[in-house]
Structure 1
Amino acid sequence: MYVYIEKEKKIVLAIHYKKIIKDVVNAVLKYENCPFECEVSVIITDDEGIRDYNNRYRGIDKSTDVLSFPFIEYKIPADFKDFDKNPLMFNPENNALMLGDIIISAEHIESQACEYGHSKKRELAFLVAHSMLHLLGYDHENDNERLIMEEKQRSILNGEGYIR
């Protein structure tokens, strides 16, 4: 597993964010039975930074907690069948399946942890799990999709000890 984490210099997180991110990425891939080594990039920024990304890439001029930019379009979420037949999905330098990018707002980690009454560790873990599921093709456009994602997030986070 290759997880590239970049935290902007001005961001201060008083938690072991690298370990949390790597552990949750790994837990999601294990939960979804991913048969490949994978690659994910994570950027931690502030509300201004995520607002810029959101505006630039999605045309939405407001901040948000997390953005997911999947590299792969799935017919069925987390269906890895026949991926090995498409070498363009794999980084030629490390042979890892390139899942995509995650961008997280550090300010939202703090405010949402306070709002929901749990730790910053749990909030970061939730945002990573949520975003990883998006990178694996899950969405929450309707109630059925939302319920599926919520159950997967809960199972993954509980399995890692991030209980609400």
Structure 2
Amino acid sequence: MNIALCAALLAAAFLVPDRAFAQAGRIEGDARIVAAREAARKGDRETLERLAAVRDAHPLDAYPRYWLLANLLARSELPPSSALQTFLAEEAGSQLAERLRADWLRRLAKDGDWAAFSTLYGDLRSPDAELRCTAWTARLLTGDRSALADVARQWDELVDAHPACDTPLR
């Protein structure tokens, strides 16, 4: 048998099950994760919602839900706080939960929801420079003048500060 024909038959054998699952709406395992990543990349919210709703024992099972929630945070409508909190509770301690928490904090800052920002910020394990500065801004805008002392203590580190530090540095 021709090598090219064998390769084509082998490729077809691997593609048919994925197409069958896709047509039946039951993409599972690696195919589900890859399809969800592609839907997130394309901004295909409907497909992403469908794939995120499926749960299986795949080691990357949380990623479709993360991509969906990150997609929702990027949209203009209010993000679903209960779904975000559920994800953070279910994935507590994971790097993915930390990333979602940081994404949500950025959205809260953009929306000017400083009370919610301050509450959520307390659970962030490793804030980056932007979020640290945004937390100082939140404290200042909610009347906490002690934030100025914290800024002063870290003054030397703020030479090339993130633009989020503009407000507390003024």
The higher-RCO structure (CA 8 Å, 6+ apart) is 1
Higher share of residues assigned strand:
1
TM-score, normalising length from structure 2? 0.22
The structure with the larger Rg is 2
Higher share of residues assigned helix:
2
